[in-house]
Amino acid sequence: MLERLQQARRDARERSDLTRLLGHCRKLLTERGESNSVAIATQAIEHYRRLSGEALREFFDLLAVEFDPDPGEVLRLAESYAATRSPENLVRLSRAAEPPRQELLRRLNRAPEGTGTIVAMRAQLLQRLRSDHRLAAVDADFEHLLGSWFNPGFLKLVQVDWTSPAVLLEKIIQHEAVHEIDGWADLRRRMEPDRRCFAFFHPVLPNEPLIFVEVALLPSMPDAIAPLLDRNHPAQADPSRFKVAAFYSISNCQPGLRGVNLGNFLIKRVAERLHEEFPRLKTFCTLSPVPSFADWLARVEGLESPRLKPAVLADLERALQGLRQRHGGDLAKLLSPAAAATQRGEAPGEAVPAGVEADELALRRLCAFHLIHTQPGEATGSDPVARFHLNNGARLERVNTRADLSRKGLRQSHGLMVNYLYDLEEIESNHERFVHGEVNASRAVRSLV
C-alpha cells in the first residue's frame, strides 16, 4: 500500500520532469530560447536526469515524433532544387531536410555537462532501440552528431601507466572487455616497461576514457596470450629487444558511442607513436580472439566457397568430419585434455592424447577457412573481430592453436587465437579488397586451405 503510494508519487514527479523537459526542448528551438540557451539547456538536462522507466520511454518517443522534418516542405524544396540548382535552393533544402532534433542536441550540448549527458542519453536510447524500431531515425541523428563531435581530430591520445591517477586505472580495470584484469596486481604487469596502454579522451570529458588499447612490446610475434598476461613473467626493460608491437586487447568504454569508429584511429595513432619512440619496431600486429569460431564449427553443415577448388574443399570437409568423429560429434570438450595438461604445467615429454595433433591441424585449417570468408557487412555470420581488423586494412597473418586456454577461450574458439598484421603500406588496398569481398591472408594462412 505504502509502496504503491510512493510509486505514484515518483511517477507524478517524473511526469512533471518530463513535461518541463519537453517545454525546455521546445523553447530551445525557438528564437526566445536562443538568447538564453545555456541556462535553458542546463535545466533541461537536470530534468532529463531524473527520468526513468515510462517517462524516459515517452521522452524518446516524442523525440521521434515531434522533431522530424516536415515532409511537405522538404518535398517542395527538393523540387525547387531539382528545378534550379542554385546555392539558395540548396541551402534551404539542406536545412529543411536535417531533422530539428540535431539542432536540439547541439543546443543541449551548450550546457556545462551537455556532452556527457548526450553520450549517456544515446546509451539509454540504444537499449530502447532494441525493442522499438521507430527510434531508428532518432538514433541516426545521435550517431551522426556524435561522429562529428568525436572526430579523431578532436581526441587526445593519452598513455596510461603506473603514474596515472588511480581513478583512471580503476576504469581500465572495469572496462577491459577482452582479457579480464583481476585486480591491481594484475593491472600492474600490464603497465610495466614492456607493456603499453593508450586511451583516447575527448577534451570535455577529461575523466572518461573513450576506448583503450593494450600493447605488448616483444622480440617476436606472440602465439599465445597467457605469457603476455602472466604477472610473474619478468618485464623486459631493454628497448633494443622490442621488435614487435602486439595489440592484445582493445576495449570501448562508452556504449553511447556505438557506431563511432574510434578503434581504427586508435590503433593507427598508437602504431605511429610507438614507431616514433622505438624506431626499430617494424611489426605491428594483434593477438586476437576468434569469438565466432566454436559456434560456427558446431553448426556448419557443408563447406562451400566459390574461391576454393573442389579438391581443397573436399579435403577440408574430411578434416571436419575427422574432428567430429574423434569427439563423438560433441566438440564442446575438444582440446580439453591437452589444455588441461598445459595448465597443469605437465612436462612436454608427457604422452599427448592420441589425435590431439590431428585435431590441432584440423582446427587451424578450419579456422583459416572460416576467417578467409569474413564478409564486410554487419548482418553476416562472420567473425566480428576479424571484420573489425580486416576492415581497418589489416592482413590475416597467422592462426595459433592452444593460444588461449582460459575457459572463455576454450569455449569460444577451442583455444585458437589469430594475429592480424597492420602494414601501413598495405592498409588502403587491403581495406578496398575487403570491401569487395576479398580477405588478404598471408601465404602461411593460405597454405592451410
User: Which residues 377-416 are close enough to bind a second copy by CB under 8 A?
Assistant: 391-393
Between strands 283-286 and 244-252, the pairing is parallel
Q: For residues 248 and 229, what is the distance between their CA atoms, to the nearest angstrom?
A: 10
- Say whether residue 133 binds a second copy (CB under 8 A): yes
Among the residue ranges 75-83, 277-285, 307-315, 340-348, the one whose residues contact a second copy (CB under 8 A): 75-83
User: At CA 289, angle to CA 159 and CA 286, rounded to 5?
Assistant: 45
Residue with Cβ nearer a second copy (32 or 333): 32
Write out the binding residues for a second copy, residues 91-130 only, by CB under 8 A: 91, 93-94, 96-99, 106, 109-112, 114-115
Q: Which of 423, 429, 427, 419 is nearest to 393 (CA)?
A: 427
Find the shortest distance in angstroms from Cβ 108 to a second copy.
8
- Beta-ladder partners of 215: 196, 247
Ordered DSSP codes for 243-254 = -EEEEEEEEE--
Query: Residue 99 or 289: which CB sits closer to a second copy?
Result: 99
Answer for which of 10, 175, 269, 324 binds a second copy (CB under 8 A) is 269
Residues 157-196 interacting with a second copy (rule: CB under 8 A): 162-167, 169-170, 183-184, 191
Q: What string of DSSP letters covers 342-360?
A: HHHT--TTSPPPTTHHHHH
Residue 88 engages a second copy in binding (rule: CB under 8 A):
yes
Report in angstroms how near the CB of residue 69 gets to a second copy at its nearest: 7
Nearest distance from residue 137's CB to a second copy, in Å?
A: 4
How far apart, in Å, do the first and last CA atoms of the chain sit? 68
Using CB under 8 A, pick the residue from 59, 60, 149, 296 that binds a second copy: 149
- The angle at the Cα of 49, spanning 44 to 55, to the nearest 5 degrees, equals 90
Q: Least distance from C-beta 372 to a second copy, angstroms?
A: 19
275 is catalytic: no
Is residue 87 helix, strand or coil?
Answer: helix
Give the residue with the Cβ less far from a second copy, 389 or 402. Answer: 389
Gyration radius from the chain CA atoms: 26
Q: Which of 179, 370, 389, 431 is catalytic?
A: 389
C-alpha grid cell, residue 4: 504503491
Q: Per CB under 8 A, which of residues 288..347 are in contact with a second copy?
A: none
Report the catalytic residues: 288, 389
